[in-house]
Amino acid sequence: MPELPEVETIRLSLLPLIRGKRIQGLKTYTEEVLENPHELDLKGREIRDLARKGKYLRLLFEGAELMIHLRMTGKLLHRAAGESKTENPHIRAELDLDDGSCLQFEDVRRFGRWKILRSPDEDRGYAQLGPDALSDDFDFESFACRLSRHKRSHVKAALLNQRVVAGLGNIYCDELLYRSRIRPDIRVDQVPPARLNVLFREMRPMLEEAVGLGGTSFRDYVDGLGKKGNFQLSLAVYRREGQACPSCGTKIEKTTVAGRGTRFCPRCQPEPRIKKGK
């Protein structure tokens, strides 16, 4: 479910409520949610920070961390002390804090994972991440370099690849390609370099706008306090197939790229012109 803006919104909503609290206990309600249950005991440890890279959340302690990936339907919800915890069959894990509050992990599809680590790079997926899309060390040069390792991929597939840039998922890839006027199903090496530059320059403002609006909510996604986001009101193409392009009025089309539902405006995102000569 959540991509960078949603995970960042969750992080911002939870941080002031949990920083400085100590862990009283960790409960799991399914076996598979916690990949390494016996690694380290978090009990008594103080939460120093809640960090994010790409779509990964990291609850940081001294000398240890709890890494959380929400995958498709995961939610991380703060319950204040005494707040009635409604019966919910999809709660997979719970972290109790020393002020009587807790963090509940709700995850209908059970793809989400918690992992206790000493260092984040013990997780293979995390270790391979490219730069976070909103980090300062994400510049055009490194972006172009990483993209060039996937010249023959569809440009959308390369953007979905978390080793190229960390944080983009299906929604924001489609929206970013629309804003950059690039068809999702052309090869990386078919994108004119000037277009790639536009794409890079559109990425940060789009993601910051989405964070500012609290992410995109269709049905599942809410932040750490159960609040919905509003970026769905800004979507130009995602889930808008058959409707009018906000720019030119052409009907938005839907196709499949990299195994994912993909929307684009056939007029605003045209096939690249064939170069004359060779």
Residues classed as catalytic: 2-3, 55, 260
Least distance (Å) from DNA to the CB of residue 99? 29
Closer residue to DNA (CB): 110 or 267 = 110
From candidates 63, 81, 86, 89, binder to DNA by CB under 7 A: 89
Judged by CB under 7 A, the stretch of 104-112, 130-138, 202-210, 243-251 that binds DNA is 104-112
> Is 39 buried (19+), middle (13-18) or exposed (0-12) by CB count in 10 A?
middle
Q: If binding is defined by CB under 7 A, does position 122 make contact with DNA?
A: no
Dihedral sign computed on CA atoms, order 48, 215, 239, 171:
negative
Residue type, 108: V
From candidates 17, 27, 111, 255, binder to DNA by CB under 7 A: 111
Least distance (Å) from DNA to the CB of residue 238? 8
Least distance (Å) from DNA to the CB of residue 48? 24
| Contact pattern from residue 5 through residue 34 relative to DNA, giving x for each residue in contact according to CB under 7 A and a dash for the rest | -x-------------------------x--
Q: If binding is defined by CB under 7 A, does position 3 make contact with DNA?
A: yes
From candidates 13, 101, 162, 269, binder to DNA by CB under 7 A: 162
Q: If binding is defined by CB under 7 A, does position 157 make contact with DNA?
A: yes
From candidates 63, 193, 242, 259, binder to DNA by CB under 7 A: 259
| Contact pattern from residue 200 through residue 239 relative to DNA, giving x for each residue in contact according to CB under 7 A and a dash for the rest | ---------------xxxxxxx------------------
Please give the structure tokens belonging to residue 10.
Answer: 């969750």
Q: If binding is defined by CB under 7 A, does position 71 make contact with DNA?
A: yes
Closer residue to DNA (CB): 54 or 96 = 54
From candidates 11, 154, 179, 240, binder to DNA by CB under 7 A: 154
Separation CA 90–CA 88 (nearest Å): 5
Separation CA 195–CA 211 (nearest Å): 24
Which residues is 193 bridged to in the sheet? none
From candidates 15, 40, 64, 72, binder to DNA by CB under 7 A: 72
Is 177:263 a contact under the CB 8 Å cutoff? no
Q: If binding is defined by CB under 7 A, does position 78 make contact with DNA?
A: no
From candidates 169, 184, 214, 224, binder to DNA by CB under 7 A: 169
Q: Where along the sequence are the contacts to DNA (CB under 7 A)?
A: 1-3, 6, 32, 54-55, 69, 71-72, 89-90, 108-111, 124-125, 150, 152-154, 157, 160, 162, 169-171, 215-221, 258-261
